[in-house]
Amino acid sequence: MAEGCAIVTGASRGIGAATATALAADGWPVAVNYRSDADGAREVVERIEAAGGRALAIGADVADPDGVADLFERAESGLGSVLALVNNAGMRADGLTPQLAVEDWAAVLETNLSAAFHTTRRALKPMLRARFGRIVNVASIVGPRANAGQANYAASKAGLIGFTKTVAVEVARRGVTVNAVAPGLVETRFTEGMTNGLADAIPARRVGTPEEVASCVRFLVSESAAYVTGTVLTVDGGLSA
């Protein structure tokens, strides 16, 4: 593993927390980013440190370019050059398209898609200099398939997949990989109220866990995935098969 640190956005709970823990277990010092859940982020840091790892909780709104600048400056001063980035921060604001508020459209696109642009653009500078980097974007199976009531969410995740593939092609020659994972139904606070009865439609007949998604991110960040770039790893128990 190259010497440097990892940033995981939206890492105070769920998939982000599991990913931060998994990367720390592989030896990465991890910046645990959060927007509002400071207590959750501190708990993640404590778990990592208890297991012998290094971590730092950093509050920043990654939909704000100034917040991104602050996040990277604090991560670099506390943990070292950022050579791995996991764009996990996300939100939902569901509603059928005719009733979807303009504000809800904009907020979801800013958080789920524009934030990944801001962080990726900033992260690529040290990665390209080091000729090593790993970027993983947490998309969703909702990106390439319809899910009524989530036009904004689907658009943001489909855009994130397109963004992933394009940036991957741009930087592949410099030892930087850019991939996405596309979770299906995963048991987190983010999906509360969505899981009842839906497991019957999943071939695996169950919902996934944050740790199962995190293990896929962990692989994509590892040295073993050096020849994997521009791809989308689906983690959905066979739902989109």
Per residue in 129-152, pLDDT (tens digit) is 999 999 999 999 998 887 889 999
The H or E element containing residue 236 is none
What does the pLDDT read at residue 147? Answer: 83
Evaluate if residue 173 carries a pLDDT over 70: yes
What tokens were used for 47?
Answer: 């778990």
Across the range 179-199, mean pLDDT stands at: 78
CATH number of domain containing 62: 3.40.50.720
What does the pLDDT read at residue 90? Answer: 96
**Full-model pTM:** 0.94
Name the burial class of residue 131, with classes exposed (0-12), middle (13-18) and buried (19+) by CB atoms within 10 angstroms of its CB: exposed
**What is the residue range of 44's domain?**
5-235
Across the range 208-222, mean pLDDT stands at: 98
Domain for residue 104, yes or no? yes
Domain for residue 16, yes or no? yes
Domain for residue 241, yes or no? no
Evaluate if residue 198 carries a pLDDT over 80: no
Domain for residue 72, yes or no? yes
Question: For the chain, what is the domain count?
Answer: 1
Domain for residue 240, yes or no? no
CA 129 to chain centroid: 23
Domain for residue 105, yes or no? yes
What do you get for the CA distance between the two ends of the chain, in Å? Answer: 33
Domain for residue 225, yes or no? yes
The H or E element containing residue 195 is none
Catalytic positions, please?
153
Beta-strand runs (E) in the chain: 5-8, 30-34, 55-59, 82-87, 133-138, 176-183, 232-235
What does the pLDDT read at residue 204? Answer: 94
